[in-house]
Amino acid sequence: MVRCLTTANAHYAPAPQTPAALADAARGIREIVAGTGGTTLRAFSSPVANSELRNAADHGVLKLELLDTGYRWSFVTTPSGVVRDSGEASCH
């Protein structure tokens, strides 16, 4: 499951990592930072450790779907509805 969902006010950045903030795509806790609605979008001030993707160009919504043994996510831009990022993972 998504163990950490964080909001910010101007960008989107998913990152699977350990509690010590080390990259771990296989067993890391996926942290998704999403805050892409209602305000002026801004560039990232510095690189975000372990980010799989960084988007500071699109307003959008984060869609989460919880499954019996995992989850799916997608970042969908507004108003166009274009999916900019998506994925699926199992719980561990």
Angle at 89 between CA 83 and CA 92, to 5 degrees: 155
Instruction: Provide the percentage of residues in the chain whose pLDDT is more than 90.
Output: 21
Report the pLDDT value the prediction gives residue 1, as an integer from 0 to 100.
Answer: 40
- Domain residues of the chain, as ranges? 4-90
Report the pLDDT value the prediction gives residue 7, as an integer from 0 to 100.
Answer: 57
Q: Give the chain's mean pLDDT.
A: 81
pLDDT tens by residue, 83-92: 999 999 888 7
Report the pLDDT value the prediction gives residue 30, as an integer from 0 to 100.
Answer: 81
For residue 30, count CB atoms less than 10 angstroms from its CB and return exposed for 0-12, middle for 13-18, buried for 19 or more. Answer: buried
Q: Which of 7, 9, 57 is nearest to 37 (CA)?
A: 9
pLDDT tens by residue, 9-39: 556 777 778 888 888 888 887 878 777 777 7
